[in-house]
Structure 1
Amino acid sequence: FEEEFVPVTSFIHTLKVERSRHQFRSGSEPEGFFPEDYKLYKNYSNDSTTAFSVKNVFGIALLEGFNKYAKAGLTAYVSHKFSRYDLMNTDTLTDMRRIRYTEQEIFLGGELAKREGKLLHYNVNGEVGLVDKAIGQFRVNANLNLNFRLWKDTVNFYARGYVSNTLPSFYMRHYHSNHYNWDNDNMDKEFRTRVEGELNISHWGTNLRAGAENIKNYTYFNQSALPEQNGGNIQVLSATLKQDFRLGVFHLDNEVTWQKTSNEAVLPLPKLSLYHNFYILTKLAKKVLTVQLGADVRYFTKYNAPAYAPGVQQFHLQPTDDLVEIGGYPIVNVYANLHLKRTRIFAMMYHVNAGMGSANSFLTPHYPINPRLFKIGVSWNFYD
């Protein structure tokens, strides 16, 4: 007889410490470029904010197999997060001292999971807030993975879903700078629900994913680049099909995404996005040199894409009196890859169709994409 020790219980502790700093500088500013001027600086900006947080998680896990009647693992945990934010003082022009905000969050959570075996895997994770800003917040995520045989192939089916009721992030509620200033303590929690299904057949090169999401109290940046909430419900439907074809050395990879939003004025999305990649993949020189030659194209239909506000470095809705449609323009790249043992050489001509046809080559309003560029590189792995 051989004895084998199988652990059935784990004690968990994680510690996460973060410190981040955001800064925006502009040397000169044209009059009227920014919507507001709080006159912290004259004709220039030097905005900054600092965030610091410490998060501890304590938990206990009963692993799969801890009991012959229990086929899944069970975990319970409690988390505590302390956050501190330092913002600029825009109330008094002569007082440049920082304004400090602190927040505490305590969540109680648990997980039920089955990760062993070949046929079925699942996990359900949920947590609820107990203290300070966490009160009333909750998150529930569920994932299921089912593998079954179809003729001589294995088919993977995935089902996912989540429900969350969370407060918008701190910087959506508070921010002070030379041109933007908001304190939104009365923001409601954002309620989201989503269900998604995915079918994957590797042998056929087929992957199909579809989902539906409902968002209540959607938080976004409005036409003035200020945070705002939509009090109603917004539904988003999406579906993505990936289909790869192969005939000898010829390959064609395809990805098509369709999406629909019930409120395009608040949450604009392109209805159709396409990606196609046609290439030749073969081996030369006694099959030690891998050669790939091809071209790819990206395309999405026209829509009123969010504009960019450099003062807060965020995307926001376009002003209604200056709407600009982007899209309807393909971006074509031509490339070559050579792989010999530990060395890879690649070359790419990016945006080869620059200047051809429509000049609407934008991914963001008023910010054109790069013109035609040639890129080349070498990758060499130093190992035996």
Structure 2
Amino acid sequence: NTVGIALLEGFNKYAKAGLTAFASYKISKYTLMNMNGSLSPDKYNENEIFVGGELSKGEGNVLHYHAIGEVGLAGKAIGQFNVKGDIDLNFPLWKDTVSLIARGEISNKLAPFYMRHYHSKHFLWDNDMDKEFRTRIEGELSIARWRTRLKAGVENIKNYTYFNQQATPEQKSGSLQILSASLNQDFKLGIFHLDNEVTWQKSSDQTVLPLPDLSLYHNFYMQFKLAKKVLSVQLGADVRYFTKYNAPAYMPAIQNFHLQPENDQVEIGGYPIVNVYANLHLKRTRFYVMMYHVNQGMSRPNYFLSPHHPINPRVLKFGLSWNFYD
């Protein structure tokens, strides 16, 4: 349950920003199988009370900002907090609008319940974990006319919580850092479009938090209209690719990903996944057809997103959406 009061931006001439105050209460009840084999289950009740506030400014053309935060007051919420915000500055440059955006977040959160308690036939744990402390800052440059967006950020995580090689929860002592940068650059020439996204990322501890160094997405398509410009047509192909790395393995018994066992390390990646498609839109009707993974068999068969779990082979997909309304 959440209760609050909000003063909307512009409700009078002195209100240059919106202001909100709120309080929330949450009760969670969990029932797990008994650790000792008894028929009576183990029960857990957790209460959380938070108070918080929000400040925002969305009107105007030059400066916008938004900040929201909450802090725990009682129950399992004690010691927890989360504050995040962003600010953007927009100014004209060469008959275009350039946006500079800064984002930040700091949080101290308790690990999810099932990372702390889990009872089943195959896995059993009750852990007393420290709170996970995260700080992140990110900057973005956006130029609308050039169809360009460049982002870069850094995150520090203390007491990082993860599933280890045995698929049980563990916390890393100390801190780890993640650096990331991404570039979105789209091109257009007549009916031809090329959308691109390139992401680079680096983890300071690839053993605990493995990440591919580079991820790519490219989408080339033609977009035009037929039948007196009432039929919209889009024909194209896209490709997804990421560099090789020791990706987390999947454990069906806990329905989660975990670090690969040290004696069974498998690298995945280095394989493009190509789809070709056609989208059509006529008034209230949309229709699409797509050949998924069209490049199957054209190179070495290494199409995995998780170790030992291959993606689908070549598949033909189609769909229809028809809206009925007056």
Of the three residues 73, 88, 96, the one matched with 2:18 is 73
Counterpart CA distance in 1 for 2:222 and 2:10 is 48
SS of the residue aligned with 2:209?
A: coil
CA contact (8 A) 2:35 2:42 kept: no
* Map of 2:183 onto structure 1: 241
Kindly provide the CA deviation profile for residues 158-213 of structure 1, in whole angstroms up to 9, marking residues without a partner as x. 2110100111011110010000000002x101000000112222221111111110
* Map of 1:324 onto structure 2: 266
Of the three residues 129, 151, 171, the one matched with 1:229 is 171
Kindly provide the CA deviation profile for residues 73-98 of structure 1, in whole angstroms up to 9, marking residues without a partner as x. 32222211111111111312xx2221
Kindly provide the CA deviation profile for residues 28-65 of structure 1, in whole angstroms up to 9, marking residues without a partner as x. xxxxxxxxxxxxxxxxxxxxxxxxxxxx2222233334
* Cα root mean square deviation, aligned: 1.4
In the superposition, the TM-score normalised over structure 2's length comes to 0.96
SS of the residue aligned with 1:322?
A: coil
Residue 319 of structure 2 corresponds to residue 377 of structure 1: yes
Counterpart CA distance in 2 for 1:287 and 1:175 is 58
Kindly provide the CA deviation profile for residues 216-247 of structure 1, in whole angstroms up to 9, marking residues without a partner as x. 00000000110000011110011111111111
Of the three residues 66, 84, 94, the one matched with 1:151 is 94
Counterpart CA distance in 1 for 2:15 and 2:283 is 49
For the pair shown, the structure with the greater C-alpha radius of gyration is: 1
Residue 232 of structure 2 corresponds to residue 290 of structure 1: yes
SS of the residue aligned with 1:267?
A: coil
Counterpart CA distance in 2 for 1:71 and 1:290 is 43
Residue 90 of structure 2 corresponds to residue 139 of structure 1: no
In the superposition, the TM-score normalised over structure 1's length comes to 0.82
The residue type equivalent to 1:83 in the other structure is: S
Query: Percent identity of the aligned residues?
Result: 71
Q: What is the CA distance between 1:130 and its match in structure 2?
A: 1.3
Unaligned runs of 5+ in 1: 1-55
* Map of 1:362 onto structure 2: 304
Counterpart CA distance in 2 for 1:191 and 1:212 is 14
The residue type equivalent to 1:100 in the other structure is: K
Counterpart CA distance in 2 for 1:383 and 1:147 is 40
Listed as ranges, the matches of 1:34-183 within 5 Å are 56-65=1-10, 70-92=15-37, 95-183=38-126
Residue 204 of structure 2 corresponds to residue 262 of structure 1: yes
The residue type equivalent to 1:335 in the other structure is: Y
Unaligned runs of 5+ in 2: none
Q: What is the CA distance between 1:271 and its match in structure 2?
A: 0.4
Counterpart CA distance in 1 for 2:15 and 2:227 is 56
Q: What is the CA distance between 1:255 and its match in structure 2?
A: 0.6
Q: 1:287 to 1:171 in 2, by over 3 A?
A: same
CA contact (8 A) 2:289 2:316 kept: yes
Of the three residues 306, 310, 315, the one matched with 2:257 is 315
- Report the count of equivalent residues: 326
Residue 281 of structure 2 corresponds to residue 339 of structure 1: yes
Q: 1:383 to 1:165 in 2, by over 3 A?
A: same
CA contact (8 A) 2:162 2:169 kept: yes
* Map of 1:276 onto structure 2: 218
Counterpart CA distance in 2 for 1:323 and 1:297 is 27
Of the three residues 203, 220, 228, the one matched with 2:145 is 203
